[in-house]
Structure 1
Amino acid sequence: MNRTRKKIERPKNPYTTVNLFSRWSFWWMRDIFRLGLKGPLREEDIYQNRESLDSERLTDKFSKLWEEERMRQKPSILRVIGRSYGLVFLPLGVLYSITESICKAIQPLLLGSLVAYFAEGQTSITELDAYKFAAGIVLCSVIPVFSFHPFIFYIFQVGTKIRIGLSGLIYRKCLKISKNASNDGLRGRAINILSNDVGRFDVALAFLHDLWKGPTESLLIGYLMYREIGISAVIGVAFMLSFIPLQAYVGKQAAHYRRKTAERTDLRVKLMNEIIQGIQVIKMYAWENSFAKLIADIRLKEVRAIKGTSYIHAALSCTSMISPLSVFLALVSYIYLGDSLTAKRVYTVSSYFNMLNDSMVHFWPLAITFVSEATVSAKRVQEFLQDGDAAATPVLKSDKKLSEKRNNNGSSEKAELNGNVSEGDKFLNIVNTREIHQHAERKGVDIRNVSATWDAIEPTDGKGNAALSDININIGERALVAIVGPVGSGKSTLLNALLGEVKINAGQIVINGKLSYAAQEPWVFEGTVRDNIVFVDSYNERRYKKVIKACSLERDLELMINGDLTIVGERGVSLSGGQKARVNLARAIYHKADVYLLDDPLSAVDTHVGKHIFERCITEFLGDKIVILVTHQLQYLFDVEQLVLMNSGRIEAQGRYQDLQRNEKCKFLLMQATYESQNETTDSTDAVSVDSRMSRSESEKSMEHHQLLNADEMPVEDENQEQQAVGSVKLSVYMSYFKALESPILLFLIVGLFICARFMLTGVDYFLSRWVIWEEKVAISNGEPLRKVDENVTHLAHETLGNHSLNLTEQDEDAVRQELVIFYAIILGSTMIVYILRTFGFFRMCLRISLKLHDRLFRGITRTSMHFFNVNSSGRILNRFAKDIRTVDTDVPHTLLDCIAFAIDVSGVLIIVAVANYWLLVPAAFIVAFLFLFRYIYVNTSRSVKRIESITRSPIYSLTNQTFQGLSTIRALHAESALDSEFHDYMNGNTCAWFLFISCTRAFAIWSDFLCVLYIAAVTFSFLVLKNEFNSGDVGLAILHSITMIGMCQWGMRQTAELENDMTSVERILEYTQQPPEPSLHTDPEKKPKGEWPSEGRIEFVDLKLRYSPKDAYVLKGLNFLIEPQEKIGIVG
């Protein structure tokens, strides 16, 4: 469709040729990272799309499966997805999950055994055994790293395939939707599904196996903890698992809120699309504030639904405190049952509860949430695919000829239908049909007893709201037929019946020959003038020039800077109404056909151009074709071969002009035609008409200055191209994001709660380690053998106490333990309260910011000039209100929460590790330095790729939007296949960037995790080298928290990079909020008229000059005239 779109030559994708190790380690990404360090990537730098991710191929696959699925009694799009990839995806997921669970279960046992090695006086564990335990701990970290990331990479590829296949299905559905359904909210739904819903399967698949893996791991870990601390483990695990019903309920509520959010987002996007389409009218009537209030009300309802989802996520985030509470209950019950705490038991049990917390408290509810949301999205996709079916009547493919053929004298006679079947029998056998025989020798149109309605569903009473009733028309070869009648009489509906756009309830339509169509409302898409005329046909210069001349476009193209290669912009914003009408007509005429349906093509052009088009185009150029012309220009009725007068969906009269002169119903109509014809003749010979044509040329010339940019300053093509931001997201973007909160006190309060919560949680861990040491002191002071406390009384306890005892009685010991338990409970309870306040307060803050940014975005685009809408496609603008606003609503809060928590948590963990062994800060500093280096490399590449992905996504929405606007023309000219191919081209371009983006993410993650493994190895083996300087409590504390810190670091680093990617959406929103506004809608007080003004309708122009953009030439140049009250003014030119 857009033939001038630059063909991008992409480098070959190295993923298709590298070896298995390179794929597994993502080493094949090194070249693109190196290129990203040199400067911002361009679209030409993005690798070619993989064949397995080809949009057309995947769409064909899903289309075939969906057609098979539709034959079922209860079709399901989820079953289609399962049949596509379930047989491969499920076994791989099971294999990976089992491997990861085994490693997670073994690592705490190895850690406990290593901690026991450092007990004073123990002899059962040799140094070789300790090295084996240390190697096992490292190995249990290596295996998940080199299995998790390739598996997740595969998962995201499967999710991408699902997204592409469903997107293709959605677009093909758009090409089939009936015209009345396309105006019933399906356009907004389609764009919202393409921008939001189909992208939810990536994350859902990543979490799908956690639905069964979490409960399985809880059984395994529960059993292993029972072996360590007996019935006390059951108490702690039972407390943790008691939250499962609550999490299930929360997951169900998340799906409910997701559905409400999606419905309200659909409504908002639909209304925004209508506002963008009608922005010129809105500005003309100064309705900006009214629509702002309407959008604000809908947005407020949407945010309330999002608030429910956000609070659910906040509650799920707070459940990370369940692990410390479970440890508390397990250890306290263990003490009250008469046992003593030891470092081995404390850190083994703590490790297991941390893992169980990840499996059941963190990932399992997230799995429920994401899978529930994906299920809702799948349902929305399925509802769309089953909704709004085209109302076109069936087309029977046969070789029948017309039932009537014309004689040379204009009369008609019956023609025999195929075979020996009589006409009556044939008509009885075929009812409610529309037949097209494109290759029939004798061309013509036969309409028999046709009744039709716009209702897509068959009326139960067989009548419905009929748009056409008892229509009978027979048209022979080379006929020019005019259809006239008052507004709403059914003229356009009759053409739509011929096109198959309305529901035929009775009768039959037979068309012999190919159809072409020019719609009443001109459809002009984003591209060059030539693209709009040639459309999907091959370019033939000779025919093209004839069409241009016949449609009176030669002079217009001469005035355009780039001629017919001028970009007209979406909806033809660079063309006048008359130019759009003629381009629309030229497209229909250029298309080679036998029957041309022209719906009022002369209404938007002046008399002289209309006369030229009728004579040179309709009468002469299409002289050997069948032309069915709907018109209100009655002066041309003398030259038509057949005249059809319609009223209220019925034919009042039909025949030749001369035959209808005696018909009373047509008398007034024909008198008016005679009057208009005489006026046209007079006007064409008047000298004023010469001045008129000259004035019109000057007007067109000045208009072109406003429509097109100066070629020396900036080509139109460049201005219409969406600009790609380069470099880092500026600090000002982050500042603007937080400034939108408009409450610095609230911001500082939330940050303070984050810091307080982290250090209180760190205090809990430190307090527990001191408690363990106290228990060891008590054991030594009581003279208990070391083996009685699992050979785990440490060297530090002996040094602290020497050979002296604490001299505590049993009652004193119990009293101290009671105080420790109470203090432990107070710290945990306080931490829990602060944690809840900081999490819920943070999400509330982000929602408030999101609401403010949306309001500013809406004000920004509605208060800017029309020039903004002339150079930005509706899809590009809608992308801000759909994808970017969704990112700010949901993605930015979660990513920002992770980043803030990461920065504060790392500080807390470093403090507790330094207390245990300050030498561990040295390798930590090196690892963190390398992580920041990796992050720098990663961000420079991923940032550019993410921006390119966002830019290549916009044309998908623009094409979908334009398709809805021109459905009738697209189907009439059989352009569905060409547009489908263009959609696949856009999808493939976007997939190239998306595949590279997820590759960048996985490469950074696996390389960062490998650094983490090296750090774990350094920390673990360092204790073995310096074993005499540490006690078991400090060893357990250091290793456990070092593992936690490194896991935290690699995730936090990725989230900081991801936050920068997400903040590009904020950047894009802010870009539109900063558009130069028009003057205020309200008059300044000092300029406000006094008294009762105006007292009369009087307009005075004093040296008025007007231009539409600072770069344009003046369109109005020094107008001076006065319009007195009650004067009626006509504007000519």
Structure 2
Amino acid sequence: FKSSNLTFIPSFRKTADSRLQAAAECFGFWCFFKSPFLLQAVGFLLWIICWLDVFYSFWERSHSRNVAAVHLVSPTLLGLTMLLATLMVQYERMKGVQSSGIMLIFWLLALLCASVTFRSKILQAQDQAVSGWRYTTFYVYYALLLLALVLSCLSDQMPLFSQAVKDPVRPPHTVFSFGCATDIFLWSVSFRMMLTGYKRPLEEKDLWSLNPEDRSHCVVPQLLRRWTADLHSCSDGENVRAVEESEILIVKSPKKSGEPSLLWALCLTFAPHFLVSCLYKLIQDILMFVGPEILRLLILFVNDPDAPSWQGYFYAALLFVCTCVQSLILQRYFHVCFVSGMRLRTAVIGAIYRKALVISSAARRSSTVGEIVNLMSVDAQRFMDLVTYINMIWSAPLQVVLALYFLWENLGPSVLAGVAVMVLMVPINAVIAMKTKTYQVAQMKNKDSRIKLMNEMLNGIKVLKLYAWEMAFKEKVSQIRENELKVLKKAAYLGAVSTFTWVCAPFLVALSTFSVYVLIDDQNVLDAEKAFVSLALFNILRFPLNMLPMVISSMVQASVSLKRLRVFLSHEELQEDSVERPTAGGSPYSISIEDGVFSWSRSESPTLKRLNVRIPEGSLVAVVGHVGSGKSSLLSALLGEMDKMEGSVSVKGSVAYVPQQAWILNATLKNNIVFGQKRKEAWYHRVVEACALHQDLEILPAGDETEIGEKGVNLSGGQKQRVSLARAVYCDRSVYLLDDPLSAVDAHVGKHIFDYVIGPQGLLKDKTRILVTHGLSYLPQAHLVLVMVDGEITEVGSYQQLKEKEGAFAEFLRMYAIHLKWTSLDFSSENWLHVYHEKSLSSCLEPVPNSPTKPMENGVKLSVFFSYLKAIGVLLSIISLLFFLSHNLLSLFANYWLSLWTDDPVVNGTQPNRLMRLGVYGALGVSQGVAVCGYSLSVSIGGILASRFLHQSMLFDVLRSPMSFFERTPSGNLVNRFAKEMDTIDSVIPMILKMFMGSLFNVVGSCIIILVATPMVALIIPFLGVLYFFVQRFYVASSRQLKRLESVSRSPIYTHFSETLLGTSVIRAFGEQERFIHESDQRVDHNQKAYYPGIVANRWLAVRLEFVGNCIVSFAALFAVLARESLSPGIMGLSISYALQLTASLTWLVRMSSDVETNIVAVERVKEYSDTEKEVHKPKVEVFFKMLQSWVGGRGSCISCINMRATF
């Protein structure tokens, strides 16, 4: 292998060369043409070899040879391990894991351990005789281990019988399965999606399926189980059985002797996964301080002309390796945090939805729709945002302590002056945090009031327009909004003070430390090593001190949200045992109430009193009484919707409920009727015919497949009521509770429905029917009539009995003075049906097109940015920019001044100009503080001005839209605009703009300093800059579309939730809670399916950008080493210290630029409504009649044969 000059030259004999070539070719073929079972076969062979060693040891002992115990124990344990490893490989393959990180680490460790034995055996063979059998088996074992390691580095094909094959877009997480290696693979696989997003707009089919552990059905029950346990621990000692996961809807709140802790439940649920991020953060925090130490070594290297060059190159390479490892650890940390936040948001939304299904009527009055929507949209989001940075609560103090330790090592006791500055800032920020929390509570109250009012306005928009109340209600909303903005403005002032203190903190710490250092002793010289190593440490100190205000603010907001959420989840719930459900058989009574006393709230007086009634099975019971007598409350009591104060209620069999106000789903007419039940064609058509819907289906555009509800055809009140009744009839229940279903239909249609559905000969003739009605003509056919007066059943009997009794019922009849006879009206066959359907469907012949929200596919237009800047104000925008520029120029000059200071000559052990240098350095710091305060205030005030303008514009545009706009736009979309999008404009965009501008100027300033200090970097920076630009644009194309897909998929969550809140009594009556929970979970998962790729894309971007930054750091160090003879230590220290912070600045800049572009979508979505059709200021009909009035000149005239069509 070596030539005569002892130079290493690989060389083989001819025969060996040909054999190795053939072996290499065969090995390569088998590696790249990998059999699905090859790794399992290798594991099986390893197991056999281990057991052969065991059998050989037994053979030796049988021949009276002395065999050490290790020769028996070691191969036995290895054999069992190899068998388990082989089974593990097969198990993971069956689960669809194509590349197992766990097995990769196992084979690597096994090979490393075997390599030690391999070396020992070679050395042992040179000195003594060896066992040929054991050496042969070991070498085969070692070769198989090497083969297993190579095979585990390659991806398996999925088995055809694996469940994973059924998912066409599996999440990459299920393909690879180990820590940081998973993420490197994950971020690489995400390139395919990024490339797709760059070529064309991403669509839902391009998104990965959600990981099973991130889905609602996995996450929500875990939180609810912990919350349930905590509630039970606060109960009055009641022995409550454990709730099974399949039974969980939400916690069943017992009476509490203490306050349950939602925070503790959240910690127990998500801490196991989240604590992993703490480990990564700890490692990353320690690695942060490697950079300043290498900088110190580089400065010492430059100062020492006798140091060998290889040391400088080694330090540059070490700097590159350390920064790359730090980047990977940091991105792994962020990935775990973001996934934890995503799971937390999923769990919170699921808990809110489940609670809303069981909350009592009294509690519902204290939690409006607006508040609950805010809990879902704003508060849940705040939890998710906090999780990302919550580790800074312990990480920031740790970084500060480590930085101060290294500063003490560098500058000695002078660092205590910096500590004093930081200690003084603690009470200031404590006061700011307390005031901020107060403002957050006030802001959320105003926000709840505004969203509540907006929700009521959107639900009653038709009434508002009929009475022309739009502008009056606009003023109401605007007044609440002004109160909200006042609070925001106060919070902005506090935020400016907080930003001023924390941004200036690192400089004040540096200034105080350097001042004390040079003033306490004339012999203390501030050289390059001390100054720039300290400056690098101060730059590290800058990040935790800058992040703390944001984290504290997020914690304050999250604490407010936590309290609101805890109060909501602790609300009183419906009594599960208020209505007994006896099994079939036994009592002949279908419904029985004994001494019943019911109330809508335990704190209120009873609504229903002394109820005693028994209703036989299969009977038709009519409930009559004056308005407010308690008829609807009686049905609510039978449904369990009221609190049972005394007595007992028994309802035998399943229940169907038809409310007085029909509840219609945003679905097809068929799905509204079938309502999740199995489709029975014959029964379905009988129900449709009996409910007088047959001719409606013929006229509707798509028959029973026509979309109805908020997003579809706008049905009349009578049609909605008939659909609601058809739903109940189709479900075929034992007991029917009908709350005046015939009040919304014409008398002719009412008779048809009564005859064919409710009456003695109808489809429900064998069912128990409780009919609340004002139609006295139906009463003679009822088996029983219940008369209610002031919440009591005063009379019970047949129609004739009560009529002869001359009691309350007779008084009721005389009051209405009606004795209708069915024969008094002409019900001639098809006439009335034809006329009725013509009338009721006239508005449906041209249905409103269903136009679901679609994500815009092009980039964010510049006009959107200009719209936001215009809303801020051109002058204020320019002032903000000038403040940013001034701050960064002053910062650059201050650090450059410091480098000049360190290069000052030392005369008699001191620097003569140190006082002048220190004074100028301090003046530059004060100027920076003024600039920081200026840009913080200007950006915050500009954000408030923009929020006011955009909200008012959207409010005006929405209220002036025609009714057709509201019929085709789900209210959830509109509520989402006024809640989530406006919250983004209020709070997120100003903060992101501030951080984006700061990062932009930091990057530009760092590049200028590096170029001035080491001009050779100019050869590399343009190339890296172009790479950076293309990576950024490549990322933004997909990131923007993912953000839009996530925004679009968020609105259906709120739409479905609002729809559920309106129909909770119907859902509970039909027992469909689980189906609606499943539907809500699916919508949340669909939203997270668009959010998760955004997390991965962020990590993909960060890894590449930090690699670019690390390259700049390494080249700056490398060129500094090459030019050490012409480079002063001060300039070199300045260059590398800026290069060290460039990586973080680059990553932060791209993240902020992406966040600006993705969050500015909120402005785009708000401005979207400005382009919709608007009503004319003066109604056309008014103009028409004025024209007629002027035409006839006031003379008496008759206008006939005029056709008019209402357009809203």
Give me the TM-score of the superposition, normalised by structure 2. 0.80
Partners of 1:228 and 1:1099 lie apart in 2 by: 102
* Secondary structure, aligned partner of 2:170: coil
2:1148 paired with 1:965: no
Per-residue CA deviation, residues 598-625 of structure 1 (Å, 9 max, x unaligned), is 0001001001100000001112111111
Give the length in aligned residue pairs: 1006
Query: What are the residue-to-residue correspondences of 1:841-920 with 2, within 5 Å?
Result: 841-920=938-1017
Q: What letter corresponds to residue 973 of structure 1 in structure 2?
A: F
- For the 8 Å contact 2:622–2:784, the answer to whether it is kept is yes
Question: Does the 8 Å CA contact 1:764/1:828 hold for their aligned counterparts?
Answer: yes
Q: Deviations over 1:1037-1059 (max 9, x none)?
A: 11111222332122101211111
Q: Hey, what's the Cα distance between the residues in 2 that align with 1:63 and 1:218?
A: 38
* Aligned partner (choices 784, 803, 808) of residue 661 of structure 1: 803
Q: Which residue of 2 aligns with 1:83?
A: 268
Amino acid at match of 1:11: V
SS at the partner of 1:470?
Answer: strand
Alignment partners' CA distance in 1, 2:855 and 2:479 = 33
Equivalent residue for 2:1092? 995
2:651 pairs with 1:493: no
Residue 68 and residue 34 in structure 1: after superposition, are their counterparts in 2 closer, same or farther (change >3 A)?
same
Is the aligned partner of 1:767 residue 2:925?
no
Structure 2 residue corresponding to 1:602, chosen from 725, 742, 749: 742
Matched, 1:46 2:207: yes
1:677 is aligned to: 820
* 1:675 to partner: Cα distance: 3.7
Matched with 1:322 is 505
Task: Quote the offset at 1:655 in angstroms.
Answer: 0.5
Residues 1:382 and 2:512 aligned together: no
1:892–1:1062 contact (8 Å) kept in structure 2: yes
Secondary structure of the corresponding residue to residue 940 of structure 1: helix
Give, in whole Å, the separation in 2 of the partners of 1:249 and 1:325: 20
Find the aligned partners of 1:909 and 1:438 in 2 and give their Cα distance: 79
Instruction: Give the 3 Å change call, closer, same or farther, for CA 829–270 of structure 1 in structure 2.
Output: same
C-alpha spacing 1:671/1:217, structure 2 compared with 1 (3 Å): closer
Spell out, residue by residue over 1:113-136, the C-alpha distance to the aligned partner (whole angstroms, 9 max, x if none). 2113222x654x443333333333
Q: Deviations over 1:224-266 (max 9, x none)?
A: 2122222322213322342123223333333332222222222
- Indicate how the Cα distance of structure 1 residues 820 and 672 shifts in structure 2: closer, same or farther if over 3 A, else same: closer
1:946 aligns with 2:1130: no
- Cα shift at 1:500: 0.7
Task: Provide the rounded CA distance (Å) in 2 between the counterparts of 1:184 and 1:86.
Answer: 32
1:677, CA displacement in angstroms? 2.0
Aligned amino acid, residue 895 of structure 2: D
Q: Contact conserved, 1:10 with 1:46, CA < 8 A, in 2? A: no
Aligned-residue Cα RMSD (Å) equals 2.8
- What displacement does 1:1013 show? 1.2
| SS state at 2:769 partner | strand
SS of equivalent to 2:580: strand
Q: Which moved more, 1:147-156 or 1:253-262?
A: 253-262
Structure 1 SS opposite 2:1004? helix
Candidates 106, 113, 131, aligned match of 2:297: 113
Among 935, 941, 953, the alignment partner of 1:838 is: 935
**Counterpart of 2:884 in structure 1: which amino acid?**
F
CA deviation after TM superposition for structure 1 residue 24, in Å: 2.9
- The verdict on how the C-alpha distance between 1:874 and 1:1100 changes in structure 2, with shifts beyond 3 A counting, is farther
Question: Residues 612-640 of structure 1, C-alpha deviation per residue, up to 9 Å, x if partnerless?
Answer: 00001112111111111001111111111
Q: Is 1:556 the counterpart of 2:687 in the alignment?
A: no
SS across alignment from 1:242: helix
Separation (CA, whole Å) in 1 of partners of 2:359 and 2:423: 49
Secondary structure at the aligned position of 1:118 is classed as helix
1:6-45 to 2 correspondences below 5 Å: 11-18=169-176, 20=178, 21-24=181-184, 26-45=187-206
Note the C-alpha offset of 1:1089.
8.7
Moved more, 437-446 or 1058-1067: 437-446
Give the distance between the partners of 1:1105 and 1:890, measured in 2 at CA: 52
- Distance in structure 1 (CA, Å) of the matches to 2:1197 and 2:442: 51
Q: Which moved more, 1:259-268 or 1:633-642?
A: 259-268
Query: For residue 676 of structure 2, what is the aligned residue in structure 1?
Result: 536
Q: Partners of 1:438 and 1:873 in 2: how far apart?
A: 42
Q: % of aligned pairs identical? A: 28
Deviation at 1:100, TM superposition (A): 2.3
Deviations 1:174-230 (A, max 9, x none): 110123433443322221111121222333233222222222332332222122222
Secondary structure of 1:621's aligned partner: coil
Equivalent residues of 1:931, 1:1050 under 8 A apart: no
Shift of 1:690: 7.2
Could you say if the C-alpha distance between residues 1067 and 477 of structure 1 is closer, same or farther in structure 2, counting changes exceeding 3 Å?
same
Whether the 8 Å CA contact 1:569–1:720 is kept in 2: the answer is no
C-alpha spacing 1:1067/1:613, structure 2 compared with 1 (3 Å): same
Q: Which residue of 1 aligns with 2:1080?
A: 983
- Secondary structure of the residue aligned to 1:437 is coil
3-state SS of the aligned residue for 1:466? coil
Contact 2:711 2:968 in 1 (8 A): no
Match 1:68 to one of 196, 204, 229: 229
Match of 1:197 in 2: 379
Q: Name 1:1125's counterpart in structure 2.
A: none
Q: Higher RCO, 1 or 2 (CA under 8 Å, sep at least 6)?
A: 1
1:516 pairs with 2:656: yes
Structure-2 change in CA distance of 1:951 and 1:225 (3 Å) = same
Match of 2:726?
A: 586
| C-alpha contact (below 8 Å) 2:291/2:1140 kept by paired residues | no
Deviation at 1:671, TM superposition (A): 5.6
Larger CA deviation: 606-615 vs 33-42:
33-42
Amino acid corresponding to residue 130 of structure 1 in structure 2: G
Give secondary structure in 1 for the equivalent of 2:745: coil
Distance in 1 of aligned mates of 2:755 and 2:515: 99
1:366 is aligned, of 550, 556, 562, to: 550
> Where does 1:378-417 land on structure 2 (aligned, <5 Å)?
378-390=562-574, 392=575, 394-395=576-577
Aligned-pair CA distance for 1:892? 1.0
Paired residues of 2:857 and 2:1041 also in contact (CA < 8 A): yes
- Does residue 552 of structure 2 align to residue 354 of structure 1? no
Per-residue deviation, 1:838: 1.3
Question: What is the letter of the counterpart of residue 1024 of structure 1?
Answer: V
In structure 2, distance between residues paired with 1:65 and 1:200: 21
Aligned twin of 1:186: 368
Equivalent residue number for residue 763 of structure 2: 621
Question: 2:216 is matched with which residue: 51, 55, 65?
Answer: 55
Q: What secondary structure, in the 3-state scheme, does the structure 2 residue paired with 1:881 have?
A: helix
CA change 1:85–1:501 in 2 (3 A) is same
Q: Deviation per CA, 1:252-301, whole angstroms, max 9, x where unpaired?
A: 33333222222222221111111111111111111112211111121122
String of CA shifts for 1:644-671, please: whole Å, max 9, x gaps. 1112112232201111122223335446
1:926 aligns with one of 997, 1005, 1023: 1023
Contact 1:179 1:967 (8 Å CA) reproduced: no
**Gap regions ≥5 residues in structure 1:** 1-7, 396-432, 710-715, 790-812, 1111-1133
In 1, the alpha carbon distance for the partners of 2:1150 and 2:452 equals: 38
Which range moves more in the overlay, 525-534 or 178-187? 178-187
State the one-letter code of the partner of 2:260: P
How far off is 1:41 after superposition? 0.9
Q: How far did residue 50 of structure 1 move?
A: 0.7
Which among 720, 728, 732 is matched to residue 859 of structure 2?
728
* Structure 2: runs of 5 or more not aligned: 1-165, 235-258
Q: CA deviation at 1:147?
A: 0.5
Q: Does 2:874 correspond to 1:744? A: yes
Counterparts in 2 of 1:268-347, with a 5 A limit? 268-318=450-500, 319-336=502-519, 337-338=521-522, 339-347=524-532
Give, in angstroms, the shift of residue 571 of structure 1: 8.3
Corresponding position of 1:1123 = none
Aligned equivalent of 2:153: none
